[in-house]
Amino acid sequence: MRKKTSPIAASAALTALAALAVATPAPASAAAVTIKVERAHAEMVREWIDPFTCPTNTVLTGRSHYGDENAPTTYYCSFILIDGEQAQVYLGDWNNRQKESRSDYSAPDNEAVAGRWHEGDENGYTRYRSATVYWRGQRVLLTGGDISGAYRESNHAWQADANRVMTGRVHTGDENGTTRYRFATVTVAS
């Protein structure tokens, strides 16, 4: 025998179910994450002698140079922290060399620069080392790529803005020529 339900009781039950559906939290993957690019290392190197690669799990976020090709260069490397966890950086190979006086390098999509290797003066060659970044097994994305204004190579310091990393560099001329930096914003897929 079937029990009769009043229309008021049925309406109340539906309202309770609707409220329950609204109160259910979104899955963790849909939640917003907090991203922070935090400087971890600065190193002055004689770049005409030694190739430079950022320390483990860091990527380039800045560079400064004062003087000609015999003056040292300072590289700035940073951790990428997502929800307070350090992202993992996997180094790639060095790219093919380019003549420094007309070099134009862009890392592959969604890869940051993690190393630079320069030999000689402006007639020498430069190579870059890119890296992929992962967080919780998921590839970290680099979006909104842009290029900086022009800096005089022999007298400049460049730092990527908050939550951005270096993705390339363009240089023309000698130490008095111009240098521009490519950069992108660190994001994760939602």
Q: At 42, which helix (H) or strand (E)? A: strand 35-45
For residue 181, give the amino acid letter: Y
d(CA 73, CA 66): 7
User: Does position 20 have pLDDT exceeding 80, yes or no?
Assistant: no
Q: Which of 134, 91, 96, 93 has the alpha carbon at shortest distance from 114?
A: 91
Q: Is 37 exposed, middle or buried (0-12, 13-18, 19+ CB in 10 A)?
A: buried
Question: Higher pLDDT residue, 3 or 175?
Answer: 175
Region 60-64: mean pLDDT is 98
d(CA 15, CA 33): 33
Global confidence as pTM: 0.83
Region 130-158: mean pLDDT is 97
Q: How many helices (H) and strands (E) does the chain have?
A: 1, 16
Q: Is 139 helix (H, G, I), strand (E, B) or coil?
A: strand
User: Does position 12 have pLDDT exceeding 60, yes or no?
Assistant: no
Q: Is 58 helix (H, G, I), strand (E, B) or coil?
A: coil
Worst-scoring range by mean pLDDT, 7-11, 88-92, 118-122, 136-140?
7-11
